[in-house]
Each structure stands twice: as C-alpha cells, then as structure tokens.
Amino acid sequence: MRALTKLTAGPGLELVDRPEPQCGPADVKIRVLRAGLCGTDLHLQDWDDWAAATVQPPLIIGHEFYGEVVEIGEDVEHVSVGDRASGEGHIVCGVCRNCRAGRRHLCIGTQGIGVNRDGAFADYVVIPASNVWVQPRDLDADLGAVFDPLGNATHTALQWPMVGEDVVITGAGPIGVMAAAIARHAGARYVVVSDTSDYRLRLAEAAGADLTVNVTRESLADAQRHLGMREGFDIALEMSGAAPAVSDLITNMNHGGRIALLGLPHEAYDLDWGKVITHMLTLKGIYGREMFDTWYAMSQMIATSERFRTAVTQVITHRFRAEQWEEAFETARSGQCGKVVLDWS
C-alpha cells in the first residue's frame, strides 16, 4: 500500500510502498479516504527535538482520518464491514488508575496513532475497535477527517457553561476557528478571536466570531472597548501556545475568569501569578478529547445544526491528492490556510 513514512531519524518524509497492516482479533482495518494534516505532522517532518525524543522510525505518520471499514477482528461486535468511520487517535492502556475509573483521556500510558504506532497517512490503518467512531453514511468525507481537531476544540470550549458569557479565543488556527463556532453554538454573548493572521481571522468571522483582533495592530483591551465590555472576559480558550497571548489573556480576564489552555508552548514563559491569585482565575490544561463524551457532543452538534456544520466545514480550505503531500505540507506550513486535507481515495 501507499504510505507516507518517516523512514529514518532525520528531517523529511517519503511516500513509499509498505505492507498492509494486519487486523488482530480486537482490531478494525479501515481503508483511508481522507486524512487531515496537523501541526504534529509538521513537527515529524522537521524532526525537531520533540520528534527525535518521541518517535522510533520507520513510522507511518498521520492521525486525523476518515474511511471505510474493510475488515474486523473475530472479537469485534459493534463495528461492521462497510461502516464509515473516524478514529480516536489516542490508544489507552485500559489498566491504569484513570482508565479503570473511566477517565481514559487521562491515561498515563497513552499511545498516539501516527506517533507511537503506524498511522493513517496510508491506504489502510488498523486501530482497536474501541477507538472506532462509526459515522453516518451521508457525512461528508472531509468533515469526517477533521473530527480529531474538532474534538480538541469541543473538549476545550465546553469545559464550562457558555450561555451569556463573554469568550475570548487566542489563536485562529483550525482548532481555534472551530472553537469559535462551538462558542457561538453554545450561547456565548460575545466571541472574540485574536491572531496575527488576517486570513485566519476571516475564517473565525465566518465561523461566528463577533469580533476579531489582529494583535499586531490591536489588543484585547481594544476589543473590550469596541464591544462596550466593562469587566473583562469570563472564559478564555488559549489555542496559540504564545506567551504574549497568555499574558494578554490574564490581563483582560474578569475576576473569577476561567482559562482553558490547549496550545502547546515552544518554550517556558512567565505568568503574572499575582493576578492569577488575586483575581481568582482558574487555569486548566486540555489535551486530546474525553473518551467518548466529546465525540458524542460534537457528533450531535454536527447532526442537529446546519449552521454549525457549515461553520466547521468552511475551516477546510485546501484539499490535495495523497501524491501531492509535499504541496499540502507547504500549504499547511504557510499559515495562509485553514485545515488541509489529503485525499487517499
């Protein structure tokens, strides 16, 4: 089969022929139709310090995908050949304290598809049946491929009730834009999104943001003045991993404000801990998706709201054939895009 593979411990990727993966008794084999590019994939191509410390080549990369089930293991009961499905990219151990308590997203032995084991930038991928999310047959294939990042956005955005709240989102990458759509759907009063890219801020506006802020020209304090806000933001979703964004957030939060942190920083940074304490702010780190509450929530939002479905779909701005993977990676790296999807059909 075709497979986009990290062959050696160094920069670069190659589209090569690899043997089809074997389906174990509790596994499901999926013919990949679409796969989404993620920042993780760019790190793996570059072979930065994180990639070098995490990945053991050779490895097929890719973890955002949608496809058709072509084989099931003998012990699999809830998935059938012919089903269309996405996949939860985190495979948990099942025996640690958190797994046994039903908190699988907190598993200390998590393995990532396309990071710790062969992934989905290939004609076929095999995952445990417990990680398969069967989709409606009429779901758009491109949309099915972005349930992983949509899940990140959903997990982050729905930490706290949003009805009537003033919400700020720092970072208008695909996940930040999806989070804007979720905040709008969930009943926020104002949704403000900040970034340095006008291209991506336009996507946030289309997703439902009331106001966007290019931080090279304005600040969140300016946004508050534009909207007539007097007390600061109630909820913040930090998607950028950028130290200035986090500092600006904390400065502009209401007392008792709640901050969900998804963006991974490139390096350590200082915080105004005095303000965190005296303003009684809540900071919560977010990683991945809750298994499987998040999947139910995003599936129902997609199924019941055409407006929400359209807002998420417009985040997918570029589509390439699998053989055009180099151009796809260049586009994703440019920042002049939303979500980039590879067509493996």
Q: What is the pLDDT of residues 20-40, one digit of tens each?
A: 999 999 999 999 999 999 999
- According to the model, what pLDDT value does residue 288 have? 94
125 and 258, same domain (yes or no): no
What residues make up the domain containing 30? 2-146+315-343
Confirm whether 196 is a catalytic residue.
no
Domain total of the chain: 2
101-122 core/surface letters (b: 16 or more CB in 10 A; e: else): eeebbbbeebebbbbebbbbbb
235, 270, 285 - which closes a domain = 285
Amino acid sitting at position 214: N
Asked whether residue 262 is assigned to any structural domain, the reply reads: yes
Mark the ranges of the chain whose per-residue pLDDT is less than 70. Answer: none
Asked whether residue 300 is assigned to any structural domain, the reply reads: no
Q: Assign residue 58 the CATH number of its domain.
A: 3.90.180.10
Catalytic residue among 5, 40, 110, 154: 40
Asked whether residue 174 is assigned to any structural domain, the reply reads: yes
- According to the model, what pLDDT value does residue 266 have? 84
Q: Is there a contact between 85 and 67 (Cβ–Cβ < 8 Å)?
A: yes
Catalytic residue among 5, 43, 63, 294: 43
45 and 117, same domain (yes or no): yes
- According to the model, what pLDDT value does residue 165 have? 98
90 and 136, same domain (yes or no): yes
12 and 139, same domain (yes or no): yes
Name 32's Cβ contacts closer than 8 Å, sequence gap at least 6: 65, 66, 67, 120, 121, 122, 123, 124, 125, 344
**What whole-number distance in Å separates Cα of residue 179 and Cα of residue 294?**
13
- According to the model, what pLDDT value does residue 145 have? 98
**What whole-number distance in Å separates Cα of residue 299 and Cα of residue 312?**
12
171 and 47, same domain (yes or no): no
12 and 118, same domain (yes or no): yes
Q: Phi-psi category of 76—alpha, beta or left, where left has phi over 0 and alpha has psi -120 to 50?
A: beta
Asked whether residue 290 is assigned to any structural domain, the reply reads: no
- According to the model, what pLDDT value does residue 335 have? 86
17 and 111, same domain (yes or no): yes
Q: Assign residue 222 the CATH number of its domain.
A: 3.40.50.720
Asked whether residue 307 is assigned to any structural domain, the reply reads: no
CB atoms near residue 95 (< 10 Å): 9
Cα atoms found within 13 Å of the Cα of residue 239, Cβ hemisphere only: 31
137 and 180, same domain (yes or no): no
**What whole-number distance in Å separates Cα of residue 66 and Cα of residue 89?**
12
- According to the model, what pLDDT value does residue 267 have? 87
User: H or E stretch including 135?
Assistant: strand 132-135
193 and 257, same domain (yes or no): yes
Model's pTM, two decimal places? 0.95
46 and 114, same domain (yes or no): yes
Q: Is there a contact between 35 and 89 (Cβ–Cβ < 8 Å)?
A: no
Confirm whether 8 is a catalytic residue.
no
Asked whether residue 308 is assigned to any structural domain, the reply reads: no
- According to the model, what pLDDT value does residue 320 have? 98
